[in-house]
Amino acid sequence: AADYLSFPPPALSLRWYARFVGVPGWRRAIWVRVQVASLTMLFATTLGLPAALALVRGRFPGKGAVYAFLLSPAIVPTIITAMGLYFFFARLKATGSLLAMALGHTVLALPVVIIIVAATLQGFDIRLEQAALSLGASRLTALRRITLPLVAPGVLSAALFAFLTSFDELLIPLFLSGVEIQTLTVRIWNSLQLEVDPTIAAVSSFLVGFTAAVLGASAVLRRRQPI
């Protein structure tokens, strides 16, 4: 309830949560973050699922090199990735757009999706798919009717982690966001430099709670996986 950050707080109050929700700048930052994270989840899952299928089931030369390349964004420092993305989108004059930030976050989220989906596929009993093939189903039908429904909890879990990867990311939005479009993490960063008030603590507790909720949902989905 104090007008400045202090711990322990002198009293408990929802005043700064109300300010967080009531200020248009904070609301806009949340909406931008949700849009970018949703696009990232869509892109990363759409690309990561077939990539994981190819890496787990496929046999082709250079498979290890392809796997290492796809996972490299998880190894390379994020600041280097962010700088590379900035120069790339600056040439295209696309910085400051939702699509640029979503594509940038997809680079970071794709390895997460591939790792989770690949682990799910490796635990899948391939004999179920082989039984469907022996009964006359095509490979596409067996994949659509047998494999995908059974690995769906793992895929959904990977999608949630992709959303979370984007939602909590700071460096890439710092490089790619513009004056008009700011994500929640960039707004927090700017507020820490310009005005430090308890609103930031309220936002931080919101992010912690949201992250915990997403991780809990992911754990529930993984437990419900039948394979």
Q: Residue 104 domain-assigned?
A: yes
Q: Round to whole Å and give the CA distance between 21 and 16.
A: 9
By the 8 A CB rule, do 183 and 168 touch?
no
What is the span of the domain harbouring residue 154? Answer: 21-223
pLDDT of residue 203: 79
Q: Round to whole Å and give the CA distance between 187 and 4.
A: 18
Whether the model pTM is above 0.85: no
Q: Residue 15 domain-assigned?
A: no
pLDDT of residue 210: 81
Per-residue pLDDT of the chain (227 residues; tens, 9 = 90+): 555 565 666 666 676 677 777 778 778 888 888 899 999 999 999 999 999 999 988 888 888 899 899 999 989 999 999 999 999 999 988 888 889 999 999 999 999 999 999 988 888 777 888 888 888 888 788 888 888 888 888 899 899 999 989 988 888 988 888 767 777 778 778 777 776 677 777 777 888 888 888 888 877 776 765 54
Nearest Cα residue to 107 out of 204, 187, 175: 175
CATH number for 142: 1.10.3720.10
pLDDT of residue 81: 92
Q: Residue 7 domain-assigned?
A: no
Q: Residue 12 domain-assigned?
A: no
Q: Running DSSP on this structure, what letter comes out for residue 14?
A: S
Longest dimension (CA), the chain: 71
Q: Round to whole Å and give the CA distance between 159 and 39.
A: 11
pLDDT of residue 44: 96
Q: Residue 6 domain-assigned?
A: no
Q: Residue 13 domain-assigned?
A: no
CB atoms near residue 143 (< 10 Å): 15
pLDDT of residue 225: 58
Q: Running DSSP on this structure, what letter comes out for residue 7?
A: S
pLDDT of residue 188: 78
- The domain total for the chain is 1
